[in-house]
A and B are shown apart, each in its own frame.
Chain A
Amino acid sequence: MSDGPELIVCRCEEVVVREVLDAVRAGCRTLQEVKMATRAGMGPCQGRVCRTLLERLVTLEAAPPEGAAGLTKRLPVHPVPLGQLVEEE
C-alpha cells in the first residue's frame, strides 16, 4: 500500500489510503473508529463497495482487538426513496 497513499479507498466520501493510515497512527484501532475519524464508508454505498478494502487496511495496520467487528451492516440494503417508505394508511 505504501506506493499508493493517494489512492481513493472510499469513493463515495473520497477518502484516500493515506487518511485511513493517518487515522490508525493517531490511535484508531477498529474500522468503526477509522470511519468516525475519516467518514470512510459513510456515503451512499455504506461500505458495500469499500468495506473489504477498508477492513484489510485496518487489520494490517492497526491489529484490531480480537472480536472487534468491522463496519456494522444496517438497513436499508440499498438506497431507497423516502416516498417508498411511508406508513400505509
Chain B
Amino acid sequence: MSEPRRLTLLKLGPDAGPEAALAAAAAYDELEAAFAGSVRSSARSGRGRLVVVGGGIVGLMSAYFASVRGYRVRLVERLSPGGAASGRNGGGVLVLGHTLDDVPFNRLSLRLWAELARAGVASELTVSGHVMLAFSEQEAETLRGAGELYLAAGLPVEWLDSSEVRRLLPHVTAEQRGGLRCPVDAQAYPFRAVSSLLSRLRDGRAELITHTRVTGFRVEGSRVRAVITEAGDVEADAVLLCAGPWSAEVGAMLGLPLAISPRRSQILVTERVATRVVHPFVTGNSIYLRQTHAGNLMYGGGGTWESQSFDTSSTTTAIARLTTRFLEVFPAFRGVQLIRAFAGTVDLTPDARPLLGRADGWENVCVAAGFSGHGFGWSAAAGAIAAACVARALGHEEPAAGVSRLLEPLAPCRHAPAARPQVRGG
C-alpha cells in the first residue's frame, strides 16, 4: 500500500469549504423543486421531434424523460444500446465523493433513480450505502474533514471507526483505519437498467435505430433539420448529442468543439460468492468494489496510468494491480476465482464536469456528455436536465433562474472558443 493517494473517489478540492457546502445544499433544493417528479410529468412540454444521437445510458435516460414530456423521440445508435461504458461500469449511483459543485446534481440523480424504480424501470437499484475506507491516519483525517462538508451539503454521512467498519464489512482487513459512510448512496445493475429502459422506450412511441452510424447533419441557418444516417435522414426539430467519449467526433460534424477525451477503465469480476459478504459500495485503496445482486464480486479502478484511447482490452498489469489492491482490502477472498476482466471507455473533460446544455451557435442542438467516469450514476439527472434543455431550446419552457445559473458552468462549449455554425460531413 504505497500509493500516495488512495481515496479512490474523493474529489473534494482544497478550496471546498463550509460556504460551498451550504451553497450545494441550496442548489439541491433548486434542482429538486424543478425536477422531482419529472419521471411522471403531468405537464407536457409540447410537440416536437427529438433525435437523440447515442444509445448509452445517458441517451436512453434522456429519451425516456423527453418521451414523458410528450416529444416524439428517435434514438440513433452506431452499435448496440448500452454496449460500451454504460454496460461496463461499476454500477455506482453515488453522491459521496463528488465535488461540492456536483453533489446537488448527484443527489437529484439518486432521487430520480429511485423514482424510476417505482415507475417500473427495473435496475436492481439497492440503497446499500457507500463507505470510503481510510488506510492511514492521514486518510482518516481527510475523510473526517470531508464528512463535515458533505453533512453541510445535505448528505447524511457518518464516521465509522475501524471496529464499526468491521461490523459493516465482516471480511474487511483489520488494517483499515475507519471509514466515511453515506447510507443513501446506491448501486444498480447496468445491464438491467439498459434493458428496462429499452423496453420502456419500445413500449412508448420512441423509435430505436440501432447498428446505424450518423454520418452528418442537414442544417438550415442555425438550426439542424435532420440527422443524416447510413439508413437515411431522420427529421428533427431538436437534436441531443449523447455519444459519450465519441461526442467530440459527432460534435465536430457541427463544428462544435466538445472537449472530451477517452480513457480506458478496467473492471474485474469473480465467480458468485454464495452468501452476501459485501453489502455497501466500497471505495478506497485506489479501487472501488461491490457485490452484485447475483453475488459476484466486482472491483475496478482507473487512473492516469490507463490508456488514453478507445482500447478496451484487458491488461495483465491492471489485473495484477487491481487484484493486489482488492486483496489488501479483503484478504479473505484469496481463494475466490476471477471469471472475467473487461474494460470501458470513460469520457473525460478538462474540468471533470459534464457538458450539459444547449450548444453554442445552434438553436436546437443540446449536448449531454463528458461525465468523466460517473455517467451511470449521473444519467437519471442528466436525462431529466437534457430533456428540459431541449424543451427550452424549442421555446416550450423557461427554466427557473436558479437552475439556469447552476447549468451555466456546464455549457458544452466552455473549454474552447465558440464556433460559428458550420456543418461537416453528410
Interface residues of B in 299-340 (CB under 8 A from A): 314, 316, 319-321, 323-324, 326-327, 333-340
Contacts of A35 in B (CB 8 A): 191
**Closest B residue to A64 using CB positions:** B211
Interface residues of B in 171-216 (CB under 8 A from A): 191, 194-195, 198-199, 202, 208, 210-211
A87 to B44, CA, bound (A): 56
Chain A contact surface mostly: loop
The verdict on A36 contacting B195 (CB below 8 Å), with A74-B341, A75-B319, A82-B327 known, is yes
Interface size on B, residues (CB 8 A): 38
Contact of A82 among B198, B208, B211, B336 (CB under 8 A): B336
The reply to whether A36 and B87 form a contact with Cβ atoms under 8 Å apart is yes
Contacts of A26 in B (CB 8 A): 199, 202
Is B373's CB within 8 Å of the partner chain A? no
A39 to B240, CA, bound (A): 31
| Count of CB-CB pairs between chains A and B under 8 Å | 90
Report 24 cross-chain contacts, Cβ distance below 8 Å, ordered by A residue: A26-B199, A27-B199, A27-B202, A32-B80, A33-B80, A33-B83, A36-B87, A36-B191, A43-B339, A44-B337, A46-B340, A65-B211, A72-B342, A75-B316, A75-B340, A76-B319, A80-B337, A81-B335, A81-B337, A82-B270, A82-B327, A85-B320, A87-B321, A87-B324
Apart from A80-B338, A81-B334, A83-B335: 6 A-B pairs, beta carbons within 8 A: A26-B202, A37-B191, A74-B314, A82-B335, A82-B336, A87-B323
A interface, CB within 8 angstroms of B: 26-27, 29-30, 32-33, 35-37, 39, 43-44, 46, 65, 68, 72, 74-76, 79-83, 85-88
